[in-house]
């Protein structure tokens, strides 16, 4: 491993998402989201009783939370907007009080010299739009474009890095195919339609931004590099299917204007013939792509698994969410992106891990050695990719706070700052102290 080093202006930050930290989901005229419904439905929510009603109470603690971000030395903060706060019905009337929260957040970040990165959609679609078909309705592209325009006109200039969607793969696979996430559908025919409309919405939002915006916009995708378990042809084919389904299904249309051929084989009769115009809409010039990296997959041909591609467990450390710790996968995927799509600026928009964090020590400290080790290795992996010529511009640690891990509730703690959900006390863990040193020395401390 070469010596760890980063460009002088490397953007070190942390990431969160609205429904996972804000609480007060219906305050000040906000309309409910599909996650408000899903988290309150014990038939759907795996962690029954865990909802986003309070979460980290960030909606009421924003100013002190930004002060904590400053104390940690963050240069940037990636947050998401709850669409339903701004447009309670998803379209039409703007809720000024809801928009005002995000204006206050952005102004407070800027006052603390922290750059805001704003994600327009991090899974919490307004329930009123789900009642109209959600992402299954082709009108969803225009709903999203109208919402994006409201946000761009209110905040562009103060926000200079925009993200349209967070992880269309997870929204589609979790929300429409397997039902583990909101809105909880389980339908192989719905999944490609929702996925395609998400990407059309992405394209429309970028088009609107080119009309009214003056800064930068991108897409965030989760990438899990796939490695064949053996050099057999069957494992190679299974690995290609898995890679097409998770990784190339979104980057190929966004960057190349085409879908991977494997998707027709994977979905069969459930894969529609898409209009060529749609592919041109989806393929918009981007200023950057955000990569969310957590783990890799080792794949073998196995008919008992979807895609006839099953996982092969490795002799490695695994996180509380069952993900292999594999830093090399981050380097590999960054080099792969550059080789396949070209030299577009990249940000690591999420990287982190949930580990069982021991209870607070007598002195109040929260020691999280596994996360410290995980982060050091992944910082080095980013540095290795940069040394190989990949234009990585920044890193947003997932996550700033322990928070609502979607259907898994509050038991999976990803934060570098511990949250006592009974008292809302924030306590920086050892990993936060490490991160502060990494930021202060631009990685030289590693
Ligand atoms: O699971 C940790 C985070 C989550 O809290 C974020 O909101 C979300 O952006 C996020 N995406 C991934 C990527 N992987 C993934 C795979 C299967 C289901 C859900 C996420 C991890 N995470």
Could you tell me if the CB of 385 is within 6 A of ligand 1? no
Q: Find the 26 Cα to ligand 1 centroid distance in Å.
A: 24
Give the tens place of pLDDT for each residue, 226-275: 999 999 999 999 999 999 999 999 999 999 999 999 999 999 999 999 99
Q: Find the 96 Cα to ligand 1 centroid distance in Å.
A: 30
Whether residue 2 has pLDDT greater than 70:
no
Tell me the C-alpha distance between 310 and 226, whole Å: 11
Could you tell me if the CB of 65 is within 6 A of ligand 1? no
> Of residues 22, 167, 190, 324, which has the active-site annotation?
167
Question: Which tokens in the block code for residue 117?
Answer: 């990165």
> Of residues 22, 224, 324, 350, which has the active-site annotation?
350
350 given a catalytic annotation:
yes
Atom of ligand 1 lying closest to residue 403 CA: 5
Give the tens place of pLDDT for each residue, 337-365: 999 999 999 999 999 999 998 888 999 99
Give the tens place of pLDDT for each residue, 156-180: 999 999 999 999 999 999 999 999 9
Residue 343 class from Cβ within 10 Å (0-12 exposed, 13-18 middle, 19+ buried)? exposed
* Greatest distance between any 2 Cα atoms in the chain: 63
Give the tens place of pLDDT for each residue, 64-95: 999 999 999 999 999 999 999 999 999 999 99
Q: Find the 405 Cα to ligand 1 centroid distance in Å.
A: 8
Question: Are the CB atoms for 381 and 336 separated by under 8 Å?
Answer: no
Could you tell me if the CB of 297 is within 6 A of ligand 1? no
Q: Which residues of 190-199 are buried (b: 16+ CB within 10 A; e: fewer)?
A: bbbbbbbbbb
Q: Which residues contact 347 (CB under 8 A, 6 or more apart)?
A: 11, 117, 218, 288, 289, 290, 291, 392, 393, 394, 395, 396
Q: Measure Cα distances from 211 to 10, 92, 145, 153, 208 in Å.
A: 29, 20, 12, 11, 5
Taken as a whole, the chain contains a residue count of 446
Q: Find the 446 Cα to ligand 1 centroid distance in Å.
A: 26
Average pLDDT for 141-145: 98
Question: Are the CB atoms for 431 and 399 separated by under 8 Å?
Answer: no
Tell me the C-alpha distance between 423 and 426, whole Å: 9
Could you tell me if the CB of 222 is within 6 A of ligand 1? yes
167 given a catalytic annotation:
yes
| Cis peptide bond N-terminal to 75, omega within 30 | no
DSSP 28: G
- Put simply, whether the predicted model's pTM sits higher than 0.95 gets the answer yes
What does the pLDDT read at residue 265? 92
Whether residue 1 has pLDDT greater than 60:
no
Atom of ligand 1 lying closest to residue 405 CA: 5
Tell me the C-alpha distance between 225 and 43, whole Å: 33
Q: Find the 141 Cα to ligand 1 centroid distance in Å.
A: 23
Could you tell me if the CB of 324 is within 6 A of ligand 1? no
């Amino acid at each position: 491993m070469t010596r760890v080093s980063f460009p002088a202006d490397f953007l070190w930050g942390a990431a969160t998402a609205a429904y996972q930290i804000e609480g007060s989901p219906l305050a000040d005229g906000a309309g409910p989201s599909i996650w408000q419904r899903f988290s309150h439905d014990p038939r759907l929510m795996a962690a029954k009783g865990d909802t986003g009603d309070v979460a980290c109470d960030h909606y009421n603690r924003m100013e002190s939370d930004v002060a904590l971000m400053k104390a940690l030395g963050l240069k940037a903060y990636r947050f998401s907007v709850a669409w339903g706060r701004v447009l309670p019905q998803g379209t039409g009337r703007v809720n000024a009080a809801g928009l005002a929260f995000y204006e206050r957040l952005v102004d407070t970040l800027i006052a603390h010299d922290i750059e805001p990165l704003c994600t327009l959609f991090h899974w919490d679609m307004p329930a009123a739009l789900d009642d109209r078909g959600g992402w299954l309705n082709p009108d969803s592209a225009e709903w999203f474009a109208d919402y994006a325009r409201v946000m761009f006109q209110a905040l562009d200039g103060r926000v200079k890095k925009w993200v349209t969607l967070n992880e269309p793969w997870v929204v589609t696979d979790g929300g429409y195919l397997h039902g583990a996430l909101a809105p909880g559908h389980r339908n192989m025919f719905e999944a490609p339609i929702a996925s395609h409309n998400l990407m059309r919405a992405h394209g429309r939002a970028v088009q609107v931004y080119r009309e009214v915006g003056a800064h930068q916009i991108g897409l965030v995708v989760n990438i899990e590099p796939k490695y064949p378990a053996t050099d057999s042809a069957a494992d190679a084919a299974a690995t290609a299917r898995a890679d097409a389904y998770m990784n190339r299904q979104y980057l190929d249309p966004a960057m190349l204007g085409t879908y991977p051929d494997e998707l027709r084989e994977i979905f069969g009769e459930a894969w529609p013939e898409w209009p060529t115009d749609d592919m041109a809409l989806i393929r918009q010039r981007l200023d950057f792509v955000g990569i969310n990296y957590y783990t890799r997959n080792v794949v073998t041909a196995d008919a008992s698994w979807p895609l006839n591609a099953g996982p092969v467990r490795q002799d490695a450390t695994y996180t509380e969410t069952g993900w292999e710790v594999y830093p090399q996968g981050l380097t590999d995927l960054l080099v792969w992106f550059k080789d396949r799509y070209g030299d577009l600026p990249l940000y690591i928009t999420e990287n982190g891990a949930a580990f069982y964090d021991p209870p607070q020590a007598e002195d109040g400290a929260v020691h999280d050695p596994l996360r410290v080790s995980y982060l050091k290795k992944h910082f080095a992996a980013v540095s290795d990719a940069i040394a190989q010529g990949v234009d990585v511009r920044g890193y947003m640690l997932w996550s700033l706070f322990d928070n609502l891990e979607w259907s898994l509730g509050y038991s999976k703690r990803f934060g570098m700052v511990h949250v006592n959900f009974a008292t809302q006390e924030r306590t920086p863990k050892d990993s936060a102290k490490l991160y502060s040193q990494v930021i202060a020395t631009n990685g030289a401390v590693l």
